[in-house]
Structure 1
Amino acid sequence: MRNSPKTVQARRDSGLETALRIVNTDAVLAAMLADEQRLLDERLAQNDARAWWVRWLVIAGSAPAVLTLLWAARLLNQAWSRSYKTEAEQRDLALRLRTTLDSLSQGVAVFGPDRRLASWNECFQVLLDLPRAMLRPSTTYASFVEHTAEPGRLALETADQIRHGGQNPREAVTYERERADGHHLEIRRTPMPDGGFVLTISDMTKRAQAEGVLREAQKMQAIGQLTGGSAHDFNNLLQVILGNLEFVRAKLTDDAKLQQRIERAAWAAQRGATLTGQLLAFARKQPLAPAAIDLAATMPDLIPLLRRTLGEHIEVRYVETAGLWPAMADPAQLESAVLNLALNARDAMPGGGRLTIELGNKVLDRGYGRHHAEVVPGDYAMVAVSDTGHGMTPEVVSRVFEPFFTTKPDGKGTGLGLTMVFGFVKQSGGHVKIYSEPGEGTTAKLYLPRATGATAVVGQRSGVPVNLPRGSATVLAVEDEAAVREIACAILADLGYRVLEAADGEEGLRTFGANAVAIDLLLTDVVLPGRVRGRELAERVQALRPEVRVVFMSGYTENSIVHHGRLDDGGHLIGKPFKREQLARKVAEVLRPVAAVPDGAGKVVELRPRRDV
């Protein structure tokens, strides 16, 4: 025992009782130590149990935390992915919007509430002709207004526009401007909710051209309706006057004074017919007989006539290029158009000058067509008439084709010469362009469609007839106007023809039925009263006897034998008022077996009707 030496010493020194007390005290202490040890072991066991529970609680609590962290990490990853995808979509959308803006034919610029530039496209700079240095963010709108207000530039705003926009700042403002090069621009300023605005600039040049073409078409339609409505009756009256004057003139060969007066009256009547024809030409309601024309062979024959007509003080030059294309047009109308241009050129050179007739091949491409909405791109034969006269201002050039517009003094011109030229070329499917500058002369270019798949013919102008062709055929004349019918029948009878007459289509059928075998030619007005019109009459007559020839008369050609300004194939038409010579030659031409004109010696070759058996 640990305390034994101490107990032995106490017995020696103090006796047995003292030693016993020491022994008892050590036993108590040992018991206490044992108790303490037991308590300590119990507490250690409790602590181990608590630690085990704590460990499991920590483990049990950490698992949800870890799961929570993993879920949070997943959510963060999804949020980042969505953000990245959204950002990519925004970048793609911005790129598409930018590409869309740059691809627009309109100029677009966005200004913020502080009236500073925020965004724009390439066309904005091009249409306003802005320097690239100005196109940067934060450029003020006032800078653009100030820049475009410089002389020679398109003004972005005016005082009137600013005042109008200030009355209602929430209202979109639209106004038009014209650039120095002739382009028409439409500018629209649209306010935005944040106080900014969008400036949109549109090139309306093509629309302006289309509107001009539409206005021209409407004007021609109005003139055509006005002219066509009265042309038939007016030409019938002129036919009566002109026919009777020529008939009387042929009988009065001895009285020179009466001949002169009749000539003047006939000239006045023919002048009235010409004016009506010019109006119909402008309205594109004249009948055309287009053919492939060899310009290189036709135009040189016109030069001597021009020299005689224009006078010695005008030098006439003729220029052509090799390999000229044939032109598809009416030869007589083309000659008349060139003469009209030459006469206008003569009036522009009162002190003398030079007139040039030039022929050439031209290809009007899509680029030219973009600036001239009415032009169909393709191949054209060009006839240009140029002079060295006083020229015209742009304002006058823009109006030269208007009917009755003229720069000549009162009584010196009708203002229908160029009108007729314009109508003829347009009706032929071509294009006409005037180039002129004050003091530099004028050039009129006629572009006629190139003839393809047809043999070019050489036009010949008829001279003064020595004798009129005569005949002995039987002609049925059908005309509702008694005076017109009477003079037409008188002219034909005077030329040797046997003439039958009728006042309308039904009477014409009855007359034909009674004389079907004898009738060789039907001369009928197109516009007849009653149920049977001229076209139907001709069809029914030729159904009974196909060899019967037909010649139509009309003072207004918008009818059943003229479609789109062109005679039906095989149709023969003589327009009122016609001359005695014209009627004689037309009837002779239709009935001609071999020859229908006087021979070189001036003898008349009698015509016999051609029989198709």
Structure 2
Amino acid sequence: MEKVIKSTEQVIGAVLDSLSEIITYQDIEHRVLWANRAAVESVDLALEQLVGRHCYEIWHQSEELCMGCPLEKAIKTGKPQEGEITTPDGREWRIRGYPVRDVNNNIVGVTEVMWDITEHKQAEEELRKYMKAFEGSEDLIFAVDRQYVYLVVNGAFLKYWCRPRNQVIGRTIAEVIGEDLFESKVKPNIDRCLQGKSVRGDLEIEYPKLGKRHMRFSYFPTKSGDEGITGLVAIVRDITERKRLEDQLRQTAKMEAIGQLAGGVAHDFNNLLTIITGYTELLLHHLDESFLYRKDLEEIKKAGDQATSLVRRLLAFSRRQVLQPKVLDLNIVISGTAKMLRRLIGEDIELETFLATQLAPVKVDPTQIEQIIINLAVNARDAMPQGGKLTLRTENVTLDEDFCRWIPELRPGRFVCLSIEDTGVGMDKEIIQHIFEPFFTTKGPGVGTGLGLSVVYGIVKQHEGWIDVSSKPGQGSTFKVYLPAFSVKLDDKTEERISLQEFQGRGERILLVEDEKGVLEFTKRVLGENGYTVSSATNAKEALDI
């Protein structure tokens, strides 16, 4: 019998020694009475060096029990207990204690089983990090199988589609986003991905609450051993704001290019007009009122003046006109212009002004600001053929860097904002993209020149400001002009009037430099006829040689 018992003990011992878990048998004072090979190897001591010592001395280098020790709980409750502890070397363990009873059912010891869960815990922590990144991502992330059934989705996906998770997981893409959208835009790209290729592209998708958004998608096939491709993982990014900024940058670059072209053409054309209208005026000045062809010359001059006005607008758009800035209160300019506007817009349009008190001064050319107000008012009038309301408003605004980063033309600082709002027909996005281009108009043939808003754009730019437009069809339009606030006191000087007689020369010498020969000759003649002695040159070198 003893041989059988001995043999059984050896078999049990061999079995326990083969396990990777640490197993010890302890008395009720937590002294080790027996330990398997894993326990011995974990502390690099012989079995004889473990027997008789307290478990907390061996594995925890402590002189007392660990707080919440599951072995102590097992002894006191008489039931198996489990818990987790961290040893001084930083490793984490799961411990399970089983109470041991004698023939009289008294608890005489406890069996301890320990698992090293350090790597498991690390993996859990990594998984938590990934899940946090997964759920916290602003991108829409999801996985589907080959049957287009959702396996997992993140919070952003649920937010965009306004669905709880239990209405997405286990359902097909078509059931969640709609059959038409799935078949027309989503399925073709997913099918390409399920053939084993990563697929990228852009889509415009209309979401339940967010409306139309520009989305950039990336699909990656998932594989599983012998099964091959089992589905895909998708990352979908909302690029609506980015695309809007790119469009604004392209529009700004286009306007700059058009401005340079218009300015160059206008400059050359202006030289020709100076010669045409100048010599026409000279002829009219010297010819008698009864001259047979005087009326023909007057018609030439009238046409030349109209062309000059057109060129002046082009120069305003291209920011090549000469400004005469003054530091002033914008409210005063608006109040003065409002009287003229009432006659300009007609009786069927109500005019309201809301002018901010203590408005910051601005350094502007008052004549050009009046031109901005008139052009925008005329544009608003034409958008309200059945009448309506035109509102002019001023306010102080301060823009920070966070606000400015969404609009390329903006810069941080203090500004005065002039807004002109109408209740007219409004505009769609396509029209808004072109309204500041020279000669662009939505009016019928022969109505307007298409230069009114381009002139406004040029004047605002030349004053180092910018203009913002918001409009929707049927909901009117609002133009907001931002001008830099100025921090010095207002100019209170009155302009002095000088009579033309004071400009008459008395033999004074003038050096005239002009590279356009026709303009040079005309100007030289006019100055000569007005009493000046003129020396002329076509460039700086010739002028220095005189």
Q: TM-score, normalised by structure 1?
A: 0.62
The letter for the 2-side match of 1:146 is E
- Corresponding residue number in structure 1 for 2:435: 400
- Structure 1 residue 261 displacement after superposition: 4.9
- Structure 1 residue 449 displacement after superposition: 2.0
2:218 is aligned, of 188, 193, 205, to 188
Q: Note the 1:287-302 alignment, pairs <5 A.
A: 291-302=326-337
Matched, 1:146 2:178: no
- Structure 1 residue 419 displacement after superposition: 1.9
- Structure 1 residue 260 displacement after superposition: 5.8
The answer to which structure, 1 or 2, has the higher relative contact order (CA under 8 A, 6+ apart) is: 1
The answer on whether the counterparts of 1:319 and 1:358 sit within 8 Å (CA) in structure 2 is: yes
- Structure 1 residue 87 displacement after superposition: 0.8
- For 1:543-584, what per-residue CA distance to the aligned partner results, in whole angstroms no more than 9, with x for missing partners? xxxxxxxxxxxxxxxxxxxxxxxxxxxxxxxxxxxxxxxxxx
Q: 1:285 to 1:182 in 2, by over 3 A?
A: farther
Question: The residue matched to 1:176 in structure 2 has which SS?
Answer: strand
- Corresponding residue number in structure 2 for 1:456: 490
Question: The residue matched to 2:217 in structure 1 has which SS?
Answer: strand
Matched, 1:162 2:187: yes
Distance 1:351 1:260 in 2: 41
Q: 1:394 to 1:95 in 2, by over 3 A?
A: same
Distance 1:466 1:258 in 2: 31
Distance 2:446 2:189 in 1: 48
- Same amino acid, percent of matched pairs: 31
The letter for the 1-side match of 2:523 is A
Which structure 2 segments of 5+ residues have no match?
19-34, 45-90, 94-114, 225-229
Number of corresponding residues = 442
Distance 1:253 1:490 in 2: 20
Q: TM-score, normalised by structure 2?
A: 0.69
- Structure 1 residue 459 displacement after superposition: 9.8
Question: The residue matched to 2:191 in structure 1 has which SS?
Answer: helix
- Corresponding residue number in structure 1 for 2:514: 479
The letter for the 1-side match of 2:184 is A
- Structure 1 residue 477 displacement after superposition: 0.4
- For 1:374-424, what per-residue CA distance to the aligned partner results, in whole angstroms no more than 9, with x for missing partners? 333443212222344444345433432233221111121222211222233
Matched, 1:111 2:140: no
Distance 1:261 1:450 in 2: 50
Matched, 1:226 2:261: yes
Question: The residue matched to 2:491 in structure 1 has which SS?
Answer: coil
Q: 1:140 to 1:238 in 2, by over 3 A?
A: same
- Structure 1 residue 206 displacement after superposition: 2.5
- Corresponding residue number in structure 2 for 1:172: 198
- Corresponding residue number in structure 1 for 2:419: 384
- For 1:336-384, what per-residue CA distance to the aligned partner results, in whole angstroms no more than 9, with x for missing partners? 2222112222333445555433322234456754653433344321222
Distance 2:286 2:387 in 1: 43
Distance 1:388 1:159 in 2: 39
Q: 1:265 to 1:129 in 2, by over 3 A?
A: farther
Greater shift after overlay, 212-221 or 309-318?
309-318
2:338 is aligned, of 284, 292, 303, to 303
2:135 is aligned, of 102, 118, 130, to 102
- Structure 1 residue 478 displacement after superposition: 0.8
The letter for the 2-side match of 1:172 is S
- For 1:496-549, what per-residue CA distance to the aligned partner results, in whole angstroms no more than 9, with x for missing partners? 3332211222211122xxxxxxxxxxxxxxxxxxxxxxxxxxxxxxxxxxxxxx
When the two chains are superposed, the root-mean-square deviation of aligned CA atoms in Å is 3.9
- Corresponding residue number in structure 2 for 1:131: 163
- Corresponding residue number in structure 2 for 1:501: 536
- Structure 1 residue 291 displacement after superposition: 4.7
Matched, 1:120 2:153: yes
Q: 1:474 to 1:210 in 2, by over 3 A?
A: same
Distance 1:308 1:467 in 2: 32
1:358 is aligned, of 374, 377, 393, to 393
- For 1:155-202, what per-residue CA distance to the aligned partner results, in whole angstroms no more than 9, with x for missing partners? 863425423443453223323114454542223322222322112121
The letter for the 1-side match of 2:222 is M
The letter for the 2-side match of 1:149 is G
Q: Note the 1:589-604 alignment, pairs <5 A.
A: none
The answer on whether the counterparts of 2:193 and 2:232 sit within 8 Å (CA) in structure 1 is: no
1:419 is aligned, of 445, 451, 454, to 454
- Structure 1 residue 333 displacement after superposition: 2.6
Distance 2:431 2:495 in 1: 34
The answer on whether the counterparts of 2:328 and 2:361 sit within 8 Å (CA) in structure 1 is: yes
Distance 2:386 2:417 in 1: 28
- Corresponding residue number in structure 2 for 1:87: 120
The letter for the 2-side match of 1:72 is A
Distance 1:191 1:312 in 2: 67
1:73 is aligned, of 32, 35, 39, to 39
- Corresponding residue number in structure 2 for 1:43: none
The letter for the 2-side match of 1:504 is N
- For 1:4-38, what per-residue CA distance to the aligned partner results, in whole angstroms no more than 9, with x for missing partners? xxxxxxxxxxxxxxxxxxxxxxxxxxxxxxxxxxx
Larger Rg: 1
- Structure 1 residue 443 displacement after superposition: 3.0
Question: The residue matched to 1:236 in structure 2 has which SS?
Answer: helix
Distance 2:171 2:426 in 1: 46
Question: The residue matched to 1:443 in structure 2 has which SS?
Answer: strand
- Corresponding residue number in structure 2 for 1:444: 479
* Bigger helix fraction: 1
Which structure 1 segments of 5+ residues have no match?
1-53, 512-613
The answer on whether the counterparts of 1:342 and 1:385 sit within 8 Å (CA) in structure 2 is: yes
- Structure 1 residue 249 displacement after superposition: 3.8
Distance 2:43 2:313 in 1: 85
The letter for the 1-side match of 2:249 is L
The answer on whether the counterparts of 1:206 and 1:370 sit within 8 Å (CA) in structure 2 is: no
Q: 1:385 to 1:72 in 2, by over 3 A?
A: closer
